[in-house]
Amino acid sequence: MELEGLMAIVLSLSIPIIGIVMVFTSEIKKKKNETDLRLALIQAGTDAETAKILIEEKASKDSKYGTLRGGCFFLGAGLGAMCNALCGVSADDIYFWMAILGGIGVGMLIAFVIEYKLTKKDQQEQGQQAES
């Protein structure tokens, strides 16, 4: 009986450690691959700055609206929970989770609409600046 408890503790502590090691290992391999590719480009006749620009990752457009998505997600979950509290639905009931998931869905839909409109507005502004 004691061995099972000890194994459970060891395994539960080893999961985050293994995860951290895997993340660092993948980052190191990624940096090594980028360096090797950059060196190959330089040896092929590309100057160092151009090679760096070609290899570096582009910033994701998704990161621009991450806070908006998160806020709408939690707002929707809160609205779903508020509806449950007002209607007196208990956590054992399936309708409790359906209301929360429905609220999250509405929140994510609102985030999508806002993000779509802001992206469209940014594209129009960039088009007008390009014309100038």
pTM of the predicted structure, to 2 decimals: 0.53
Question: Does pLDDT of 34 surpass 80?
Answer: yes
Q: 22 CB contacts (<8 Å, ≥6 apart)?
A: none
47 vs 29 pLDDT, higher one: 29
Q: What is the pLDDT of residues 78-132, one digit of tens each?
A: 999 999 999 988 888 888 989 999 999 999 999 999 999 999 998 898 888 877 6
CA 116 to chain centre: 18
Per DSSP, the three-state class of 122 is helix
| 118 vs 65: CA distance, rounded Å | 10
- Give Dmax (Cα) for the chain: 77
Helices (H) and strands (E) in the chain, counts: 4, 0
pLDDT band at 62 (very low <50, low <70, confident <90, very high): low
CA distance 4 to 1: 5
